Amino acid sequence: MGLRESRQGNGVVVIHVEGQLVIANRAELKDRLQDRLAAGDRRFVLDFTGTPYIDSSGLGALVTIAKRVREEGGDIRLAGLNDDLRQLFELTKLDTLFSISATPDQALAAF
Amino acid sequence: MTQPLRLSVRRASLADPASPIARITVQVPSCVECIEEAVGVVTRHCLAGAIAGPQVRFRLQVALSEALANAIVRGNREDASKRVWVQADLGPDQICLHVTDEGDGFDPAAVPDALRPEGVSQEGGRGLFLIHRMVDDVHFNTQGNSICMTLRRP
């Protein structure tokens, strides 16, 4: 998995997740978000356009990340999930915990 | 250094109609970094069988990756001296996946419902729930260290 960042004019940090988010690498994403929070960033979009698969550990990491961001008064939105992954969010009711947009641009527009 | 997977593919005798078309066995080291490769290898062989399609691929991927993660982390506790065995029996109308670890086993009935209100906002506890949602049948052996998951032709 690779993580690529871009910062928008309105201060939102977009993190593009490239590859599978799974038990073997979920800590990398948690650490990256923790670093950004420590640096003062509070608004995030996680772009999964390049992510074919997220396992239950990856889903759990997203729950913990969202909790930390919200505890700091921030907000996090998800974008670019493929149909299979959307299905996983619906099955696990995680679609009730996250704001999910079809594209990163739509997620950014919602801030 | 990551240890290699040990893969064996055996075609069953066509003279025995009760036997599966093929049996794939893979020995997986107890490291989570091995899961992605093991799932890819087993899924590729399974999709060469009679039941295939995008939905089958995804269901296989979820069921196998969750069962392997449970076996490696909870079963073998990532002990490098222990292994996990995956056996896939490919039949004309179904795939039976067995994932067996060397741990003490667990009681699947004692696993709390992932969809209870406090469960949805917890980090863990979704693996077994997803397996049940992705396959048609789930069975454990008595010890609780071996899961059998069956996918039937849609």
Residue of A nearest to B73 (CA): A23
Chain pair A-B, CB pairs under 8 angstroms: 59
| pLDDT, mean of residues B33-48 | 91
Helix (H, G, I), strand (E, B) or coil at B153: coil
Contacts of A56 in chain B (CB under 8 A): 66, 69, 124, 126-127, 130
Q: Which CATH superfamily is domain A2-109 in?
A: STAS domain (3.30.750.24)
Residue from A58, A91, A65 nearest B124 by CA: A58
Compare all CA atoms of chain B with the CA of A57 and give the residue at the minimum distance.
B124
Q: Please state the ipTM of this predicted complex.
A: 0.93
Q: What residues of chain B, 31 to 50, have a C-beta less than 8 Å from chain A?
A: 32-33, 35-36
pTM value is 0.93
Domain spans of chain A, in order of start: 2-109
pLDDT digits (tens, 9 = 90+) for A48-104: 999 999 999 999 999 999 999 999 999 999 999 999 999 999 999 999 999 999 999
**pLDDT of res. B11:** 61
Burial of B117 (0-12, 13-18, 19+ CB in 10 A): exposed
Q: pLDDT confidence of B51, banded at 50, 70, 90?
A: confident
CA distance A28 to A9: 25
Gap from B76 CA to chain A (nearest CA, Å): 15
* Partners of B146 in beta bridges: B100
Residue B16 confidence (pLDDT) above 80: no
